[in-house]
Amino acid sequence: MSALRVNTGEGREPSPASEPLLRVAGLEAVYGASIAALHHIDLTVRPGEIVALLGSNGAGKTTTLKAISNLLPAQRGKVSRGEIHFDGHDVLKKSPSALARLGLVQVLEGRHCFRTLSVEENLITGGLGRSSSRREIAEDLEKVYAIFPRLKEKRKSRAGLASGGEQQMTAIGRALMTRPRLLVLDEPSMGLAPLTVQAIFKALAELNESAGLAILVAEQNAAVALRFAHRVAVIENGTSVVNESAAEFRRRSDVQSFYLGGGATIASGEAGEVLLQQQQISNKSAHSTF
Amino acid sequence: MDNAFDWTFFSEVLVGGLLAGVMYSLVAIGFVLIYKTSGVFNFAQGSMVLFAALTFVSLTERGLSFGAALAVTAAAMAVLGIVVENAVLRPLVNRPPVTLFMATLGLSYIIEGGAQLLWGAQVHALELGIQDTPLEVSGMLISKFDLIAAGISAGMVAVLSLFFRYTRTGLAFRAVADDTFAALAVGLRLPRIRTAVWIAAGLVSLVAGLLWGSRLGVQFSLSLVVLKALPVLVLGGFDSVPGVIVGGLLIGAFEKLAEVYLGPYVGGGIEGWFAYAIALLFLLIRPAGLFGGRTLERV
């Protein structure tokens, strides 16, 4: 249980301020012709920084992330106002594959592995978009296997038959094969056992430290995200309401208990209780999925 | 009728049906390739078959050798695929399936009209140099042409399978077919992959056009082979290559057997609609088809 405790001590300082790698300003997005999904989102990610994007279910985290990878048009949504820049490029004028080649890639909510492909084939697809050479793909595969040794054991089996944790690792590994500078993750902990979540976040933190990989991660499981993040952004009803360092955010325990819960059951206000709920949810999911 | 059931005759009909079925599968595979990567039911597949056959036969009539005509036609099909994907389908991407279907319906008539404009409207005979003499195999008489046509179709399927299994484009194709949104998110270049698939579908149409054209003659009704492929797709599943192969074999076999054994009781002419009766039955019982993973809708 202690693995998930909100905490203390392990907070890491944000890297020195510099030009943001990602800058989202005044973002407004709609689905269809008129269903407003986002009203006003401001967000920045600096090079080498881990930013946690928090908010309850339906607050607009996923839509924000899809807008950042310019994936909304593929789901009949669009950015109706505001701007998104990645490394000086106007994201809204770039295709998702062009963004991936620039170093911005996303691990979708629900993992979205290619289920009929083997784990290794899944990973290789990450190298195809940037036209990696055969040698580069072999090198990158070894790197991914070094980060997630379990994938090496499973490399020949179908991704659809792998466990939830292995699928999440496959999805992350596949994204790493694009050689990103900013990795965007949507709910990586969803439906996974706490230990698996720990292992995945630990691997991400190591990548951040060793390779300076910037990470933007949306999580309902705020407790675990907060332990690794440098900075926190909170979304509420399609509007960003908090934007501060993770350390400061953690100190304000009132805010904490408010945003750490999953969904709308937050009225209890007791952080401990909320954590307990989360624990139950993740245990339940761990049993029910795969 | 004799009392004893004539098994040799039954086998002959069955084999004839199966061989015809392989050729149905060939047309159906063109549909599956495009459906799996674009979610588009490409009604223009039949017109592409006609366009290929007409181009080939017109070139040979103008004195080109078989090989040269084949190469030029293949190139023309590739160009057609590139133009269709880039000029028509790309601007319509993410539109509802019915819009895309209407676009390919329109396209179907434009390709037919274009072929007519280019090569004229008369009927051509297409001679592939295969003698259509019956072969005797353990007492059965089997059309040599059907046998070779089935062999060519099987070879085409084998080449496609190897391509999808062992090449990068093939891997990208399988990824897109599996989960288009994930493929987009991970940076695969969908337009490029879809263009490749349209080219592949064009080449499949070329082979189908030559085989069907030499059997039926190259004329505008050739584009109606698309109607033969529909029941096969329903039976096999719109998104399954193995499915449509099995579907084609089943439809071919049932069609011929029904024509021969049931036809006399209802005054014949069953072959034209029997496949649709089976397809309808399947739609009611198993809408995804024998091997289909999902129902017919854009994912």
**Which of the listed CATH numbers 3.40.50.300, 3.90.1150.10, 3.90.420.10, 3.30.360.10 matches domain A17-103+180-288?**
3.40.50.300
Give the bridge partners for A77, in sequence order.
Answer: A31
CB contact burial B160-178 (16+ within 10 A = b; e otherwise): beeebeeeeebbbbbbbbb
Question: Domain ranges in chain A?
Answer: 17-103+180-288
Q: Answer whether A68's CB lies under 8 Å from A98's CB.
A: no
Among B178, B181, B186, the residue with its CB nearest the CB of A174 is B186
Q: Would the CB atoms of B178 and A117 count as touching at under 8 Å?
A: yes
Location of structure tokens 């292992």: A199
Among A96, A124, A130, the residue with its CB nearest the CB of B185 is A96
Tens of pLDDT, residues B205-222: 999 999 989 888 888 888
Taking the CA atoms of chain B, what radius of gyration do you get in angstroms? 20
| Top-confidence residue, B292 or A189 | A189
Percent of chain A having pLDDT more than 70? 81
To the nearest whole Å, the CA of B220 is away from the closest chain A CA by 37
| Top-confidence residue, B161 or A23 | A23
Give the bridge partners for A184, in sequence order.
Answer: A106, A216
| The dihedral formed by the CA atoms of A81, A86, A88 and A92, expressed in degrees to the nearest 10 | -40
Tens of pLDDT, residues A99-111: 999 999 999 999 9
Lowest model confidence (mean pLDDT) among A233-242, A259-268, B239-248, B251-260: A259-268
B19–A contact, CB cutoff 8 A: no
B106 pLDDT tier (thresholds 50, 70, 90): very high
Q: Would the CB atoms of A113 and B179 count as touching at under 8 Å?
A: yes
Q: Would the CB atoms of B178 and A114 count as touching at under 8 Å?
A: yes
Q: Give Cβ neighbours of residue B274 (< 8 Å, ≥ 6 apart).
A: B254, B255, B258, B259, B262
B189–A contact, CB cutoff 8 A: yes
Tens of pLDDT, residues A235-250: 999 999 888 888 888 8
- pLDDT above 60 (res A271): no
Rounded Cα–Cα distance for residues A100 and B286 (Å): 40
B278–A contact, CB cutoff 8 A: no
Percent of chain B having pLDDT more than 70? 96
Q: How many CB pairs under 8 A join A and B?
A: 80
Q: Answer whether A216's CB lies under 8 Å from A235's CB.
A: no
Q: Would the CB atoms of A125 and B171 count as touching at under 8 Å?
A: yes
Q: What pLDDT score was predicted for residue A290?
A: 35
Q: Would the CB atoms of A115 and B172 count as touching at under 8 Å?
A: no
Q: What is the DSSP letter of A117?
A: S
Q: Would the CB atoms of A125 and B186 count as touching at under 8 Å?
A: yes
Q: Return the ∠ at Cα A189 (arms to A186 and A193), rounded to 5°.
A: 165
- pLDDT above 60 (res A9): no
To the nearest whole Å, the CA of A113 is away from the closest chain B CA by 7
Mutate which: B36, B93, B173, B186, vs A, most A CBs within 10 A: B186
B135 pLDDT tier (thresholds 50, 70, 90): confident
Among A73, A75, A178, the residue with its CB nearest the CB of B187 is A178
B131–A contact, CB cutoff 8 A: no
- pLDDT above 90 (res A141): yes
Helices (H), A113-252: 119-128, 134-147, 149-153, 164-176, 194-211, 222-228, 246-251
Query: What is the ipTM score, two decimals?
Result: 0.82
Q: Show residues of chain B in contact with A105, CB under 8 Å.
A: 185-187
The pair of structure tokens assigned to B17 is 């049906």
Lowest model confidence (mean pLDDT) among A21-30, A35-44, B115-124, B182-191: B115-124
Q: Show residues of chain B in contact with A132, CB under 8 Å.
A: none
The pair of structure tokens assigned to B151 is 């062999």
Rounded Cα–Cα distance for residues A92 and B155 (Å): 45
Nearest residue in chain A measured CA to CA from B174: A117
Q: What pLDDT score was predicted for residue A2?
A: 39
